[in-house]
């Protein structure tokens, strides 16, 4: 079959397809009605947002931001069904905040929302750190990074403590190679992968200043504020309820005092610090019961109740409160650094 005939057939079919699409667009008038509630219900987004509300205490600014992003994506999808042209909304995100503020949990919900709206194919979340992307020798970084990107395709790639990718003081560091590969994929395959960069706010700000190419590709910045002491108590009670424990009123007061003091100490990690405190309180409770009397007949109440002394045995109550550094994580990972522990 002559090549000229094949070429003519190709262009004829292409012209026919474009003509049909234009006719369909013209048939949609300005008065065309769209049931927004119906379109919203189709996506099941409200269930995800309700779960987010139920799973996370506080974080009102974060929840509002997620709703705003969801609204933008829903309207963009409706516009496409009506044949309205518009550039695809930027989906790459930056989550900043202290450890233990729910960034990974929100990333999981965001992956669900993007999947429900058809912006990603699979809806899975892959969480990685520098060690998963950067190699130890020449030629090692590129295959590691590409393998991670391959696994993440069709979903969301969550890079925690992303600032560790960039170490300008080390000439032999290969983090910049991983960043270059990441930049290319974020631009060229943005329709098949959403990247969320996460970390401590001050360090992320410096990271973006040093890597303007990355900063320009991040459309959505979401900051996660620290929890208040009262919110952390609420979180702690939820954690205990899930494990079938409860606090006496005096124990709850002691825990509030504990977390207020702990917030002023270095390496405070919000909900993670609360979980650690409760784990140690459970250990003290078990030890208290064991040492009381081996012949003691226990009741269910004995086994589920944390008392005031289970909280107050923490040495945080004996520590003077030092002035917290501007960035309590600044020394983390430096040679000779030893993280303090709080019982």
pLDDT tens digits for 61-96?
A: 888 888 888 888 888 878 877 777 666 778 899 999
By percentage, how much of the chain surpasses pLDDT 70?
79
- pLDDT at position 11 is 47
Query: Cα separation of 308 and 243, whole Å?
Result: 18
pLDDT band at 97 (very low <50, low <70, confident <90, very high): very high
H-helix or E-strand containing 81? helix 60-81
In this structure, the number of other CB atoms found within 10 A of the CB of residue 276 comes to 16
- Report the alpha-carbon distance of residue 120 to residue 108 in Å, rounded: 13
Planar angle of CA 131, 150, 172, nearest 5 degrees: 35
Query: Mean pLDDT over all residues of the chain?
Result: 82
Q: Is the pLDDT of residue 26 over 60?
A: no
Evaluate if residue 3 carries a pLDDT over 90: no
Residue 256 has pLDDT above 50, yes or no: yes
Tell the residue number behind the tokens 């790639």, with chain if given: 157
Provide the 10 A C-beta neighbour count for residue 234: 15
Tokens describing residue 326? 């501007």
Contact 45, 113 (CB under 8 A): yes
Strands 125-128, 93-97: pairing kind: unpaired
Give the integer Cα–Cα distance in Å for 7 and 326: 67
Lowest mean pLDDT among 6-15, 59-68, 127-136, 203-212: 6-15
Q: What is the pTM of this model?
A: 0.76
Q: What is the pLDDT of residue 33?
A: 56
Contact 162, 58 (CB under 8 A): no
**Euclidean distance between CA atoms 99 and 63, whole angstroms:** 18
Is 161 within 8 Å of 130 (Cβ atoms)? yes
CA distance 212 to 46: 35
> Which of 175, 125, 171 lies closest to 145, judged by CA?
175
């Amino acid at each position: 079959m002559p090549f000229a005939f094949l070429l003519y057939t190709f262009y004829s079919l292409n012209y026919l397809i474009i003509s049909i699409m234009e006719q369909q667009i013209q048939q949609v008038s300005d008065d065309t009605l769209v049931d927004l509630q119906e379109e919203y219900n189709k996506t099941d987004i409200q269930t995800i947002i309700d779960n987010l509300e139920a799973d996370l205490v506080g974080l009102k600014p974060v929840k509002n931001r997620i709703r705003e992003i969801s609204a933008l994506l829903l309207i963009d999808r409706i516009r496409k069904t009506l044949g309205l042209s518009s550039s695809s909304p930027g989906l790459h995100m930056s989550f900043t905040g202290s450890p233990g503020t729910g960034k990974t949990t929100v990333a999981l919900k965001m992956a669900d929302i993007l999947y429900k709206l058809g912006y990603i194919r699979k809806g899975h979340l892959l969480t990685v750190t520098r060690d998963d992307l950067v190699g130890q020798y020449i030629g090692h970084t590129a295959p590691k990074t590409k393998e991670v990107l391959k696994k993440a395709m069709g979903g969301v790639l969550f890079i925690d403590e992303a600032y560790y990718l960039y170490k300008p003081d080390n000439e032999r560091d290969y983090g910049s190679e991983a960043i270059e590969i990441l930049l290319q994929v974020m631009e060229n395959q943005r329709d098949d992968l959403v990247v969320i960069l996460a970390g401590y706010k001050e360090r992320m700000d410096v990271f973006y200043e040093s890597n303007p190419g990355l900063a320009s590709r991040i459309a959505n910045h979401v900051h996660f504020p620290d929890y208040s002491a009262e919110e952390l108590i609420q979180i702690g009670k939820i954690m205990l309820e899930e494990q079938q424990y409860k606090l006496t009123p005096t124990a709850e007061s002691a825990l509030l005092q504990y977390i207020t003091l702990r917030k002023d100490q270095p390496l405070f990690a919000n909900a993670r610090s609360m979980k650690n405190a409760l784990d140690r309180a459970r250990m003290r409770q078990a030890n208290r019961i064991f040492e009381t009397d081996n012949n003691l007949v226990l009741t269910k109440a004995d086994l589920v109740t944390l008392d005031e002394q289970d909280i107050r045995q923490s040495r945080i109550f004996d520590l003077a409160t030092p002035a917290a550094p501007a960035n309590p994580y600044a020394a983390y990972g430096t040679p000779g650094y030893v993280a303090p522990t709080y019982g």
